[in-house]
Amino acid sequence: MSAFTSPARRLRGACAAGVRVVRKGWAIAAARYAIVLAIALLAYAVVLLLAGKNPLQAYSDTFSFTLGSWYGFSEVVVRMIPLLLTAIAVALPSKLGLINVGGEGQLYMGAWLATWGAITFTGLPAAVFIPLLIVLGFVGGGVWAAVAGFFRARGLVNETITTLLMNYVSPLIVGFFVYGTWRSREVGASAFPQSAAFPEAARLPRFFDTRIHLGLVLALILLLLFWFVLEKTAWGLKMRAIGGNPEAARRLGVRLGLYIIVAMFVAGGIAGLAGMAEVSALHGRLRAGFSPGYGFTGFLISWLAGGSPLGILTMSFVLAVVFSAGSLLQITQGVPFAAVNVLMALILFVVLMKPRLLGRLS
């Protein structure tokens, strides 16, 4: 697949650079993000107007719902958890110049394998069950992504195409089980295609009387680890070298193939954790189509943040608000949920259109 990899390598280089927020001046970085958001929101207001909705009403609803109350805020944080994880799942490979567009599929596979564990080993105590689910979620997503990493490392197919196509396969696998062998036979529940309920011990603990769950702790630890490994360790140096110049890294004796496969495995694993956390903590069952596109949004977040951990944290929050707004507006204003895609597109568009506003591109 080298024909496609060599141009793609350039493409990846540009992507890894992304929008790199200049280290100096938090205020400047924050101001830049604010300007981008303001422009995007303004443009989206026009879109809403054209669709015959009242943008002022929509925005004020969104604001009071998401940030105006403790409950609303906690729901935003709940939304943020899968976004944080899928964003790390994109940011990590991007440091090696790999483009993982398969967060969505990896998320489903993590949820799938974790569900298998949850409905198979029903008798375990929570102290064993939760770590088991974490491992299963990680392995499910990780193996799924490692396949793409393997093809890439062997020079067969480039990981962008593989992960994109595999995104369409994993929801079908979940669908196969949820409509098939795993379909719950409980009275009332069976009308809706979903797995049996997780045992109580297989539910991730929640905090503060809200739906905020253990996934948040996992996500923050992983974000910290992501930063530490890349910035401080010998492996991080090698990974960044692969991203910066694979040819030189190869000549300096770095084992490219191994690093590519491992990085994709870990990244997929992290996305898998997002899926595991969603089903275990929130739904308590596996449902077909439970993710409203967290994987793709994770890509967007990582890209907007330029792979910087603090950027990921900030942008995850912003996008979580956007998502909450999406479901809210669907209810209050009758705007289809998919319309949040327009807002996300506008944010990306503004960033891409005005590279100088957010720092240097590629």
Partner 1 sequence: MVVLRGITKRFPAVLANDQVDLDLHPGEVHALLGENGAGKSTLMKILYGFYSADCGEIKLQGDPVHIHSPHDARRLGIGMVFQTFTLIPAMTVAENAALYLPDLPPVVDTRRVAKQISSLGEKYGIQVSHRFPVRDLPIGDQQKVEILKLLVGRARVLIFDEATRVLAPHEIEGLFDIFERLKGDGYAIVFITHKMREVLACADRITVMRRGRIAGTLTRSEATESALVALMFGDAIPQEATSAPLPPAAPGSALLALRSVNTRPQGASTPLRDVCLEISQGEIVGVAGVSGNGQRELVDVILGLLPCAAGKRLLHGEDATSWSAGQIRASGVGFVPEDPLGMAVVPWMTLSQNAALGDVAAYARRGGLSLGWDRVRQDIVTSFAALEFEPLSLYAPVRTFSGGQLQRAVLARELGRRPRLLVASYPTRGLDVRSAAAARRVLVQLRNSGGGVLLVSEDLDELFSLSDRLVVLRRGRIVGAFRPGEVDRHEIGHLMTDSEVGE
Partner 2 sequence: MNWAFFGGLLSGTIMYGVPLLYTTLGEVIGQRAGMVNLGLEGILLIGASVGFAVSIETGNPWLGVGAAALAGALFNLVYAFLVATRRANQLASGLTVMFFGMGISAMVGRAYVGGGIAGLARYQVPGVAALPWVTRTMFNYDLLVYLAVPVAVLVWWVLYRTRWGLSLRAVGENPSAAFAAGRRISALKYQAALACGFLAGIAGAHLSVALARTWTEGMTGGRGFVAVALVIFSKWHPLRAIVGALLFGGAVTLQLQLQAMGAGVSPFLLNMIPYLLTLGVLLVWSGARRFAAPGALGRVYSGEE
Where in 152-191 is the site for partner 2 (CB under 8 A)? Answer: 155-157, 160-162, 164-169, 172-173, 175-176, 179-180
Q: How far is CA 278 from CA 17, 85, 91, 231, in A?
A: 30, 11, 21, 30
Single residue of 9, 206, 240, 283 touching partner 1 by CB under 8 A: 240
Amino acid at 255: R
Judged by CB, which is closer to partner 1: 153, or 196? 153
Name which of 340, 309, 273, 246 is nearest 92 in CA terms. Answer: 309
Q: From the CB of residue 284, how many other CB atoms can be counted at a distance below 10 Å?
A: 19
Judged by CB, which is closer to partner 1: 154, or 232? 232
Where in 84-103 is the site for partner 2 (CB under 8 A)? Answer: 99, 101
Say which residues have a Cβ less than 8 Å from residue 194's Cβ, sequence separation at least 6: 178, 183, 184, 283, 285, 286, 287, 288
Residue 41 as a binder of partner 2 (CB under 8 A): the answer is no
Residue 296 as a binder of partner 2 (CB under 8 A): the answer is yes
Name which of 140, 156, 137 is nearest 148 in CA terms. Answer: 156
108 touches which of partner 2, partner 1, none (CB within 5 to 8 A by kind)?
none
Where in 171-190 is the site for partner 1 (CB under 8 A)? Answer: none
DSSP 285-336: S-BTT--SSHHHHHHHHHHHHTT-HHHHHHHHHHHHHHHHHHHHHHHHT---
Residue 68 as a binder of partner 2 (CB under 8 A): the answer is no
255 touches which of partner 1, partner 2, none (CB within 5 to 8 A by kind)?
partner 1
Candidates 66-74, 77-85, 266-274, 352-360; binding stretch for partner 2 (CB under 8 A): 352-360
234 touches which of partner 2, partner 1, none (CB within 5 to 8 A by kind)?
partner 1
For residue 154, the minimal CB distance to partner 1 (Å) is 14
Specify the residue for token string 């990974």: 239
Name which of 259, 219, 261, 258 is nearest 134 in CA terms. Answer: 219
Residue 257 as a binder of partner 1 (CB under 8 A): the answer is no
- Residues near partner 1 (CB under 8 A) are 2, 232-235, 237-238, 240-241, 244-245, 247-255
